[in-house]
Amino acid sequence: MFEQLVHHENNHSVAQTVAGRIIETASASINVRGVFHLALAGGTTPRCCYELLRDADIDWHKVHIWFGDERCLPIGDDERNDVMADAALLTHVNISASQIHRMPAELGPDQAAAAYADLLATIPCLDLVLCGMGEDGHTCSLFPNSPALSDGRPVVPVFNSPKAPSERVSLGYSALNAAHERIIMVTGEGKREVFERMSQGESFPVMIANSEWHSTL
């Protein structure tokens, strides 16, 4: 099921390689379309990657930042994904605030999902989506057995998440599948069991078709 799987010796190698792929894809997208639409992942795995991009040769004036998911917490809360992205990358590069498209998760799952779907509809599709994987095989905020898995909308509300906070907003499969490229980063020994179960054919939410996987497992 791993169409493109690259094994790495350590987390830094994953971060370096994925940062390099982002730089390459940004350059290609800007050359062809004049813009690069990048959706960022939350969690701990991408942070090092974002830090490596601070000094990257990217024309940030032509980059638009999106988010794969967000937690329904107040603006500026330390547990929000956009706060992590700000600290790791966005406050260190020359990108306009108008080009950073934050999920308005503070409005609650339903209203935030509808608003972000309207915003996403203003572009043809995302160029590159970065995804992580949780120990239960979730990605973005698409958890096993969640009704959001069968929601066909591009942005979906998430209730009763098994991880706090229980309310979230996430890109749905329609938006993920429509992106030009998808990269999934998997690090952390606690994810090995699910990763091995996937390799044996078991299905988990993170198994998005036509994705490039970078893993230490």
Instruction: Walk along the chain (217 residues) and give the pLDDT tens digit of each residue.
Output: 677 999 999 999 999 999 999 999 999 999 999 999 999 999 888 999 999 999 999 999 999 999 999 999 999 999 999 999 999 999 999 999 999 999 999 999 999 999 999 999 999 999 999 999 999 999 999 999 999 999 999 999 999 999 999 999 999 999 999 999 999 999 999 999 999 999 999 999 999 999 999 999 9
Number of H helices, E strands in the chain: 6, 9
Judged on CB neighbours under 10 Å (0-12, 13-18, 19+), 180 is middle
Q: What pLDDT is attached to residue 1? A: 65
- The H or E element containing residue 214 is strand 212-215
Q: What pLDDT is attached to residue 43? A: 86
- Starting at the edge strand found earlier in the chain, the sheet holding 4-7 runs 4-7, 212-215, 181-186, 128-132, 36-40, 63-67
Find the largest Cα–Cα distance for the chain: 45
**Token pair belonging to 83:** 């706060």
- Round to whole Å and give the CA distance between 159 and 146: 8
Four-way CATH pick for 4-215: 3.40.50.1360, 3.40.50.300, 1.10.3720.10, 3.90.180.10: 3.40.50.1360
- The H or E element containing residue 5 is strand 4-7
Residue 195's Cβ-side half-sphere holds a number of Cα atoms within 13 Å equal to 20
CA dihedral 92, 93, 98, 102 (to 10 degrees): -50
